[in-house]
Chains A and B, each alone.
Chain A
Amino acid sequence: MAGSGSAHLRNNDEVVLDVRDLVVEFKVGGGRVVNAVSKISFDVCRGETLAIVGESGCGKTTLGKAILQLPPPNSGDVIFEGTNLTKLPKEQLRSARTAMQMVFQDPISSLDPRMTVHDLIEEPLWIWERGTESERQTKIRELLNNVGLEPDLVMNRRSYEFSGGQCQRISIARSLALEPRMLICDEPVSALDVSIQAQILNLLQDMKDRYGLTMVFISHDLAVVKAVSNRIMVMYLGKICEVGSPESIYSKPAHHYTSALINSVPIPDPTRKRTTAPLQGEPPSPVAPPSGCRFRTRCPAATEKCAAEEPQLREVTPGQFVACHHPRV
């Protein structure tokens, strides 16, 4: 699970976001360092949805925030539409960021409870002085309609009066106010009921089509990701395990970790029993990650080579890249 390596990068004209050798580390005292993201490279093409999948603590949220320079990464480059965000002066970075917006996991705590829905959505427009007063009012109504809320019923209410699913709709409307070209969704449905999840996933698809968005979709649930993504990147302890299309990843996962993740998804059918045992244990501490392949301590196929040598990403089937010495395909 090395994931250093760049075999999976596409280098064509359609690439909107190009992340190279990104490293994010946090100092935790005693001279120790949490290796949250270790030399990760990936790219996202225009109109694509890249899903980043992994367990809690694998660095997927840190990676999503590092794209927006929140906080700036320790090293590496984030090139968005030809501009290297890591090199931009503060003020230019601020205005470059309006083109990329984020939707957060917890819709209730990410909205200010003292602001009305109207103000929540107007705030970005007001900060950036977009449009006249009446243009703004039209825009707010249009956004609320698009996310499936009735403007007259919701505008003057506050976030605590809404359910989790409705709050997530408000968050999405707010994130779209500045007409971003890229949306980074960090676990947008994991705090919601199954029946509401489907509604929000469909809404995100609709918004993507309507506004021509490029999306990065962060999730721990491979079943959720399947519905929305064109390309999937599986992460473990700050490294990439596998990159590929949903079809190849689900039908023949090459990495043992990907296969374990797929097997953990509950199947709503009591007649089907699991064929393999669920993944045991928990990820090791990112303060002292294992040598070589970082997944080797939980991997059923680990050998001495895995401890000694870090696997590099390589193509196993067309378009499917894996960082493993003993891939399943």
Chain B
Amino acid sequence: MSALMSIKDLVVRFETPRGSLEAVRKVSLEIPFGTSIGIVGESGSGKTVMSRAAMGLLSGSNVRREGSVHFDGKELTAMSPKDVRNEFGTGMAMIFQDPMTALNPVRRVGSQIAEGLRVRLGMDKKAARARSIELLSLVRIPDPESMLRKFPYQLSGGMRQRVMIAIAVACNPKLLFADEPTTALDVTVQSQILQLLSELRRDLQMSLVLVTHDLGVVANNTDFVAVMYAGEIVEQATTTELFANVKMPYTEALLKSIPNIEMKGGTRLPVIEGRLPNPTDRPAGCGFAARCSYVQAKCTAEHPPLVDAGDGHLYRCWYPLGHTIGRKQ
């Protein structure tokens, strides 16, 4: 399986008055054709910055980006912003977390969908309108023709997210980034949107990157999962392997903290104590050491490398779960 996007040693730094803040630290990730990858982490883990940097969406004089992003035979980091922009829509597209603010409030839905079609694909007004109606029915919006005339404020959160998805897939992108696409939505609408994304990925043969803080969301909707913590990938495997065979204590803690419908009422939820390390002052050892319940002396002294368990299951831990050697009982 060849990679559609391959990210190598990506570093993103923000220069702030209080020093350099390294939000993404040497992340490497391959996104194969036609697969879906989940990127999971807490707020501040660098997952959003990483996906935006990969798309070339971060700009500003205080942003430093290093490393390489190879997409569809081209090196994005070597291209001019204008050339990168030409990849949007037809090459890659993004769905944002908050459908309330991502849509333009003063333009009708129809013109927002048609914009990409007319600019990117050079369609005339009539063709763009016909295609917009097709797209709206593709994302299962009832009565698509009347939807074209509506403004975003007239729609519910779920409907707005469907419109966002229609805009994103309008020009048949090869790669779709979905950044917390369901976090702002109800559980019932969340399951509808996740199902829709899975179906679209299959039907339109896209690769999908699903960025989320909820491991429950990726479990049934992705082929691979990468867990991020403090700007690094700390565990990566196929979805079935990861859930069957968790190696990182952090991933285990994340899994345990999900409110589970099968647990007894009135019981206390397991929590991850403490918080992410300050990004301007990272600890020398493992970033999770201060919060880890299995912590050993070596963890605070030396930074663990990302190692391969042999079957493509990567983890960044001196004492991975499931190994008893070297672990205090």
B57 at the interface (CB under 8 A from A): no
Contact of A194 with B195 in the complex, beta carbons under 8 Å: no
What residue of chain B has the Cβ atom nearest to residue A222's Cβ?
A: B261
Of A18-26, A128-136, A265-273, which stretch is located at the interface? A265-273
Of B17-25, B117-125, B251-259, B315-323, which stretch is located at the interface? B251-259
Which parts of B208-231 form the interface with A (CB within 8 Å)? 213-217, 219-220
Q: Which of A57, A194, A230, A274 contacts B220 (CB 8 A)?
A: A274
A193 at the interface (CB under 8 A from B): yes
Determine the distance from Cα of A273 to Cα of B217 in the docked complex, in whole angstroms.
13
Chain B residues in 8 Å Cβ range of A227: 259, 263, 265-267, 269
Contact of A269 with B243 in the complex, beta carbons under 8 Å: yes
B158 at the interface (CB under 8 A from A): yes
Chain A residues in 8 Å Cβ range of B257: 194-195, 197-198
Q: 22 A–B contact pairs at CB < 8 A?
A: A55-B186, A56-B186, A164-B43, A194-B213, A194-B258, A195-B42, A196-B43, A197-B259, A198-B269, A198-B271, A199-B271, A222-B187, A223-B260, A223-B261, A226-B260, A226-B261, A227-B269, A230-B266, A265-B187, A268-B260, A270-B239, A270-B243
A262 at the interface (CB under 8 A from B): yes
Chain A residues in 8 Å Cβ range of B220: 266-267, 270, 272-274
Determine the distance from Cα of A197 to Cα of B214 in the docked complex, in whole angstroms.
11
Chain B residues in 8 Å Cβ range of A281: 142
Chain A residues in 8 Å Cβ range of B240: 270-271
Chain B residues in 8 Å Cβ range of A261: 187-188
Chain B residues in 8 Å Cβ range of A278: 188, 191-192, 195
B270 at the interface (CB under 8 A from A): yes
A246 at the interface (CB under 8 A from B): yes
A205 at the interface (CB under 8 A from B): yes
A280 at the interface (CB under 8 A from B): yes
Contact of B259 with A201 in the complex, beta carbons under 8 Å: yes
A13 at the interface (CB under 8 A from B): no
Chain B residues in 8 Å Cβ range of A57: 156
Contact of B253 with A195 in the complex, beta carbons under 8 Å: yes
Chain B residues in 8 Å Cβ range of A198: 257, 259, 269-272
Contact of B217 with A193 in the complex, beta carbons under 8 Å: no
What residue of chain B has the Cβ atom nearest to residue A263's Cβ?
A: B191
Contact of A195 with B187 in the complex, beta carbons under 8 Å: no
Determine the distance from Cα of A282 to Cα of B220 in the docked complex, in whole angstroms.
23
Question: What's the minimum C-beta distance from A244 to chain B, rounded to whole angstroms?
Answer: 12
Question: What's the minimum C-beta distance from A170 to chain B, rounded to whole angstroms?
Answer: 16
B189 at the interface (CB under 8 A from A): yes
Question: What's the minimum C-beta distance from A153 to chain B, rounded to whole angstroms?
Answer: 13
Determine the distance from Cα of A77 to Cα of B42 in the docked complex, in whole angstroms.
44
Contact of A226 with B43 in the complex, beta carbons under 8 Å: no
Contact of B214 with A266 in the complex, beta carbons under 8 Å: yes
Chain A residues in 8 Å Cβ range of B178: none
Hey, which bits of chain A sit against chain B, CB under 8 A? 55-57, 163-164, 193-199, 201-202, 205, 220-224, 226-230, 246-247, 250, 260-274, 278-282
Contact of B216 with A250 in the complex, beta carbons under 8 Å: no
Q: Knowing A195-B253, A227-B265, A278-B195 touch, does A260 contact B188 (C-beta < 8 A)?
A: yes
What residue of chain A has the Cβ atom nearest to residue B267's Cβ?
A: A227
B283 at the interface (CB under 8 A from A): no
Contact of A246 with B254 in the complex, beta carbons under 8 Å: no
Determine the distance from Cα of A180 to Cα of B66 in the docked complex, in whole angstroms.
54
Determine the distance from Cα of A277 to Cα of B194 in the docked complex, in whole angstroms.
12
Chain A residues in 8 Å Cβ range of B189: 55-56, 282
Contact of B255 with A264 in the complex, beta carbons under 8 Å: no
Which parts of B265-280 form the interface with A (CB within 8 Å)? 265-272, 275
B109 at the interface (CB under 8 A from A): no
Q: Knowing A201-B269, A222-B187, A227-B269 touch, does A267 contact B216 (C-beta < 8 A)?
A: yes
Contact of B265 with A269 in the complex, beta carbons under 8 Å: no
Question: What's the minimum C-beta distance from A276 to chain B, rounded to whole angstroms?
Answer: 11
Q: Knowing A195-B253, A195-B257 touch, does A220 contact B186 (C-beta < 8 A)?
A: yes
Q: Which of B43, B156, B190, B195 contacts A163 (CB 8 A)?
A: B43
Determine the distance from Cα of A222 to Cα of B303 in the docked complex, in whole angstroms.
40
B157 at the interface (CB under 8 A from A): yes
Contact with A along B37-51 (1 / 0, CB 8 A): 000001100000000
Q: Knowing A250-B261, A270-B243 touch, does A205 contact B188 (C-beta < 8 A)?
A: no
Question: What's the minimum C-beta distance from A246 to chain B, rounded to whole angstroms?
Answer: 4
Determine the distance from Cα of A164 to Cα of B275 in the docked complex, in whole angstroms.
12
Q: Which of B43, B213, B219 contacts A269 (CB 8 A)?
A: B219
Question: What's the minimum C-beta distance from A29 to chain B, rounded to whole angstroms?
Answer: 14
8 residue pairs, one from A and one from B, having the closest CB atoms: A266-B216, A198-B269, A278-B191, A268-B216, A223-B259, A198-B257, A246-B265, A264-B187
B248 at the interface (CB under 8 A from A): no
Contact of A221 with B259 in the complex, beta carbons under 8 Å: yes
Contact of A195 with B219 in the complex, beta carbons under 8 Å: no
Determine the distance from Cα of A322 to Cα of B156 in the docked complex, in whole angstroms.
28
Chain B residues in 8 Å Cβ range of A262: 261
Contact of B186 with A195 in the complex, beta carbons under 8 Å: no
Contact of B269 with A280 in the complex, beta carbons under 8 Å: no
Determine the distance from Cα of A195 to Cα of B243 in the docked complex, in whole angstroms.
17
Question: What's the minimum C-beta distance from A284 to chain B, rounded to whole angstroms?
Answer: 12
Extra contacts, 12 of them, besides A262-B261, A266-B187 (Cβ < 8 A), are A55-B189, A195-B253, A195-B272, A197-B259, A197-B269, A223-B261, A266-B219, A267-B220, A268-B260, A272-B220, A278-B192, A282-B158
Chain A residues in 8 Å Cβ range of B194: 266
Determine the distance from Cα of A247 to Cα of B261 in the docked complex, in whole angstroms.
11
